Chains A and B, each alone.
Chain A
Amino acid sequence: MTTLGGITRRGRGPLSGEGRWALLFLAPTLIGLAVLSAGPILATLAISLTDWDLLTPPKLAGLDNYLSLLSDDRFLKAVRNTFFYTIVSVPLGLALALGVAMALNVKVRGIAFIRTAYFLPVVTSSIAVALVWQWIYNPDSGLLNQVLGVIGLPPQKWVNDPTLAMPAIIAMSIWQGLGVNVIIFLAGLQAIPSELLDAANVDGGGRWARFRWVILPLLTPAIFFTGVLSLIDGFQVFDQVFVLVKPRPTDATITIVYFIYENGFKFFKMGLASAASWVLFLIIALFTAIYFWSQDRWVHYQ
């Protein structure tokens, strides 16, 4: 697996020829976006400026929807919850994935099986995952509380406890999404030329020095890539919340996308839901832009 390193090595060359090839490979996605997504995306912008219940003609509302979002306690709670989820789950998920990838980057018997095991949650349906975690978090007879009982700690309510609910969902999400990042990090690790590691060895670098000064810098493109995907995914968190808690019994786990779903399809407020979608879009765009801007400072392309 040297493709990742290969692309980054050649990617900085003159655009002539390669640019056209890039466009060709991007075409399916670009055409799909233009034909299928652009219309609805622009439509939500128009809808966000109206008062629309889906069934009767929309009434022009100007910026009312945006203004009412600012004073909507549930929306502000959803924004806070979404930020908490993203800020905690992205760095933690990446760090864990990196650790697991390092541990799996060895040549021993059965390593392929172990790597597959880490990828299994990724290809398992969210429903199945949530059902298993429902049992793990069960406040009465759940696995986690049994473990707590064995070490003499009191049982917890987990997803039913307003304080623990979000951390519990983050734990499940990280577990479920780990495999994707592990695969990318593994590819990155295996693309590191062994000469560089040998050279570090010859210079007397220990394990930590090798990691800090050779492996980590060379992995930054992979970290950047997984980071941007995790960031966007994090802000759009919905299904874990929808399936595991819904976000009952309190609003402890309401997220922006859940707020959008509920207002659009339950409360007949498609205008408000569209406005919230655009706020979410702007948040994601802003953070992605900052993240891209920051890459000059820490991402090292070979």
Chain B
Amino acid sequence: MAMDPSTRTRPADSRWRAALAVVLVTLLAAACGGTTTSPTSPAAPPAASAAAPSGGGSAAPSDAGYTGPEATISYSIWGDPQEIANQRAIVDAFHAANPKITVNVDVSDWEPYWDKLQTSLAGGAAPDVFAMDGPLFPDYQTRDVLLDLKPFIDRDGYDLTQLADQAVADFTTPDGQFGLPRDLNVVALYYNKAMFDAAGIPYPDETWDWAKLKDVAQQLTLKDANGKVTQWGFYTETTDMENYWSELVWQNGGDIVSADHKTSLVASDEAAGGIQFLQDLIWKDKVMPDASITDALGDAFEQGQAAMESNGSWLVATHEAAGLDFGIAPLPKGPAGQATSINPTGAVVYKGTKNPDAAWEFVKYLASPPAQEQIMALKASMPANKEVLSGSFATAYEGSDVLADAIEYARLKPSFKGYNDWTTTLQTEIDANVFTDANKTAKQSLTDVLPQLDQILAEQ
């Protein structure tokens, strides 16, 4: 099995560490015998005592910082080399403020991250704190591997309203608060200024709607003498709902799944109409390259081959690095008004952690202004802390205010148990028949796949 060479050593490495951890924990448990019950709550069963904050209920809400024993916690994230350095800087600053807590950061690529996380959770040797993608959160929370942070929040009197509301809500369930948002992303319209200037067309703004987008995209799609397209008017990714098609569904008055997560709504006329608009941009209006071209080309906007792109705020640094002179505008409005997608990344705590207090302290720090400023500096995501969002982020770069304002009308990226299975089944169908080739209309394709989608939801 050939994997990315840079990640090849890490899983094995962490397996050994996991195995060692299991051995050590077993030895410790054996050595301690029956005296593991916490002295602060002698009546509580061990599992509950591990989860309850030490000193809980003994005083009025007060946040005096970490007062426990020296602790080392592990923190796992997905990301690229830039993010490693960035997160290490945060960890170092945290350690300076909390000298008794040491944090070890472990970084993986996106795919191996989840493989490792699942096996380490199954082996009872998961990292104390780890990054959690919004849509995948229910798959973990419902399997009882995440620690409820509500008792810690109550103890410290921690104010959740200092963080973006949707981002907090993504990790809230009727049973508690199972994580804090670390950062977030919204989707907006990027545009290439030089291409607009060359055509003498004013830049996109908040007045734009679907018709205007199509109209300008047609004007900005240029061909050579042989009819080969030399510049596309528009570009987006079709292989995930977040990049554009979920926004189109919402802007057309449709939705993805029902609030109780039992019914798929993507085959309604409104939802299908949104996805049809995207199919038409590719195959009818021909202002956007189809997936077979973009799969090989990559991001056509980043390559300087497309005038506009609907995509996430995570691309700001990438587009800057590509040397583009670009601006950011709100997504064009649809028949049912404005909407975009917001997707937070959370920091969650492993339920079996040996250091819940230290882990909570670190999670809290990640959401605090100093850490949020550090994350924001990468321009690979937006801060989740409102103070930073309306403060330094709003003036951080050209268009950052547009992104901050987009949170107002943003809707959470759908998040439910079975998300991966559901979305893979749906994307397989529409990639093949709606986007990569126009074999079916959106309505037909979505109607065909609907029974399978509802079957997956019924199994959860």
Task: Point out residues on A near B: beta carbons under 8 Å.
Answer: 53-56, 74, 125-127, 134, 137-140, 142, 157, 160-162, 238-239, 242-243, 248-252, 262, 265-269
**Contact for B431 among A139, A239, A248, A269, CB less than 8 A:** A248
How far apart sit A54 and B144, CA to CA, in the bound complex (Å)?
A: 12
Q: What are 6 A-B pairs at a CB distance below 8 A?
A: A56-B144, A140-B296, A142-B296, A248-B239, A266-B421, A268-B118
Are B432 and A249 touching (Cβ within 8 A)? yes
Judge whether B292 and A157 touch: CB under 8 Å. yes
Query: In the complex, A44 Cα to B372 Cα: how many Å?
Result: 44
A266 to B112 Cα, complex, angstroms:
11
Given A140-B296, A160-B296, A238-B1, do A56 and B291 touch, yes or no (CB 8 Å)? no
Known contacts A160-B436, A250-B436, A266-B424; decide if A53 and B143 are in contact (CB<8 Å). yes
Q: Do residues A268 and B436 form an inter-chain contact, with CB atoms below 8 A? A: no
- Cβ-neighbour of A140 out of B5, B239, B293 (below 8 A): B293
Given known contacts A54-B122, A125-B5, A160 and B432 CB-to-CB distance under 8 angstroms? no
- A126: chain B residues within 8 A (beta carbon): 2
Interface centre among A125, A162, A267 (most CB of B within 10 A): A267
Residues of chain A with a CB closer than 8 A to B295's CB: 139, 160, 248-249
Let me know if B118 and A265 touch, CB within 8 A.
yes
Task: Please give, as numbers and ranges, the residues of chain B lying within 8 Å of A242 by CB-CB distance.
Answer: 2
Q: Which of chain B's residues have a CB closer than 8 A to the CB of A269?
A: 421
In the bound complex, CA of A249 to CA of B2 (Å)? 21
Q: Verify A125–B436 contact, CB threshold 8 A.
A: no
Q: Is the CB of B292 within 8 A of A250?
A: no
Assess whether A267 is in contact with B421, with CB atoms less than 8 Å apart: yes
When the two chains form their complex, are residues B139 and A268 in contact, meaning their CB atoms are under 8 A apart?
yes
* Contact B292 A139, beta carbon cutoff 8 Å: yes
Q: Which residue of the partner chain B has the closest CB to A162? A: B432
Decide: A265 and B297 in contact? CB cutoff 8 A. no
Q: Could you tell me if B297 and A140 are in contact, using CB atoms closer than 8 angstroms?
A: yes
Whether B2 contacts A54 by the Cβ 8 Å rule is no
* Complex CA distance for A133 and B289, rounded to whole angstroms: 22
Q: Contact: A239 with B2, CB < 8 Å?
A: yes
Question: Which chain B residues numbered 424 to 452 have a C-beta less than 8 Å away from chain A?
Answer: 424-425, 428, 431-432, 435-437
A262 cross-chain contacts in B, Cβ below 8 A: 424
Once the chains are docked, how many angstroms separate the CA of A16 from the CA of B5? 46
Min distance, Cβ A211 to any Cβ of chain B, angstroms: 36
B4 within 8 A of A: yes
Q: Closest A residue to B420 by CB, please name it.
A: A266
A138, B2: Cα distance in complex, Å: 22
Contacts of B145 in A (CB 8 A): 55
Per-residue 0/1 for B93-120: is the Cβ within 8 Å of any A Cβ (1 yes, 0 no)? 0000000000000000000001100110
CB-defined contacts of A127 to chain B, threshold 8 Å: 2-5
- Report which of B119, B296, B420 forms a contact with A139, defined as CB distance below 8 A: B296
Answer yes or no: B409 CB below 8 A from chain A CBs: no
Q: Is the CB of A55 within 8 A of B432?
A: no
Pick from B4, B296, B435: contact of A134, CB under 8 Å: B296
CB distance from B238 to the nearest CB of A (A): 8
Knowing A249-B431, A250-B431, A266-B424, the reply to whether A55 touches B296 (Cβ < 8 A) is: no
| In the bound complex, CA of A160 to CA of B435 (Å) | 12
Query: Which residue from chain A places its CB closest to the CB of B126 in the assembled complex?
Result: A55
Residues of A within 8 A of B424 (CB): 262, 266-267
